[in-house]
Amino acid sequence: GENVEQHPSTLSVQEGDSAVIKCTYSDSASNYFPWYKQELGKGPQLIIDIRSNVGEKKDQRIAVTLNKTAKHFSLHITETQPEDSAVYFCAAKSSGDKLTFGTGTRLAVRP
Amino acid sequence: EAGVAQSPRYKIIEKRQSVAFWCNPISGHATLYWYQQILGQGPKLLIQFQNNGVVDDSQLPKDRFSAERLKGVDSTLKIQPAKLEDSAVYLCASSSQGGLYSNQPQHFGDGTRLSIL
């Protein structure tokens, strides 16, 4: 089955700096890659997603890049704010319509 | 639109007892998922429904876990008997359409936090 690895597990940045989280996947048939933000006591919230026919997607301060050849994708957050502090999960959807999640990155934005 | 509703928010039981969780998906969403999220890990799929039929339950521990989605709307997940390792957050998600090529986003509820004593 699909295996998704996510790095780093924790990330601390100064407010206003950029944050980058990287994920790799194993199943070359995976075709959909969402990113979720999870705050304490809440369910995961979709923040951006990318499909396998696109290399990059941007939504205001958030961008995602996908390298299908290398089987990795990354989340970029620019101009970080304290409210960006949360746990971020990447996921990959492989054959069988199943989402496999990474292990999460705890992002702390220092004021 | 209203999000995915789950209840209860918290549940504490002793091992070997039974427990049930309820989920109401976003209106009109045909596909419903139950995930287990152990502390410090990403969600893991337990079961997926398309309308009222099971699409994937390969990771559901069927000796103790059961789920149903009568009438293709609300769903319940049950654990009987519970074990200590079942302590986790149980998340429900829904999407407008399932299937290999649909790629519709999954929207999550806030989950039920289960503690087993």
Q: Do A99 and B45 touch (CB under 8 A)?
A: yes
Closest partner CB to A98 (pick from B56, B102, B103)? B56
Cα A62 off chain centre by:
10
Q: Do B43 and A101 touch (CB under 8 A)?
A: yes
**Burial (0-12, 13-18, 19+ Cβ within 10 Å), B45:** buried
Q: Do A44 and B45 touch (CB under 8 A)?
A: no
Q: Do A31 and B108 touch (CB under 8 A)?
A: no
User: A83 — alpha (psi -120 to 50), left (phi > 0) or beta?
Assistant: alpha
User: How many angstroms separate the CA of residue B111 from the nearest CA in chain A?
Assistant: 6
β B10-13/B112-116 pair status: parallel
Looking at chain A, which residue has its C-alpha nearest residue B49?
A97
Closest CA to B24 of B89, B95, B76: B76
Looking at chain B, which residue has its C-alpha nearest residue A48?
B105
**Which of B23, B110, B112, B113 to mutate to probe the A interface, most A CBs <10 Å?**
B110
Check residue B100 and give its pLDDT: 52
Q: Do B108 and A51 touch (CB under 8 A)?
A: no
CA distance B15 to B27: 35
Average pLDDT of the residues of chain B:
92
Helix ranges (H only) for chain B are none
- CA dihedral angle for residue A55, residue A57, residue A63, residue A66, rounded to 10 degrees: -20
Tell me the per-residue pLDDT of B30-52, one tens digit each, with 9 for 90 and over. Answer: 999 999 999 999 999 999 999 88
10-residue mean pLDDT profile of chain A (111 residues): values are: 94 98 94 96 96 90 96 97 98 84 97 92
Q: Do B45 and A98 touch (CB under 8 A)?
A: yes
B78 touches chain A (CB under 8 A): no
Residue B1 has pLDDT above 80, yes or no: no
Q: Where are the beta strands (DSSP E) in chain B?
A: 5-7, 10-13, 19-24, 31-37, 44-50, 53-56, 65-68, 75-79, 88-95, 107-108, 112-116
Please give the average per-residue pLDDT across B81-95, as a whole number.
96
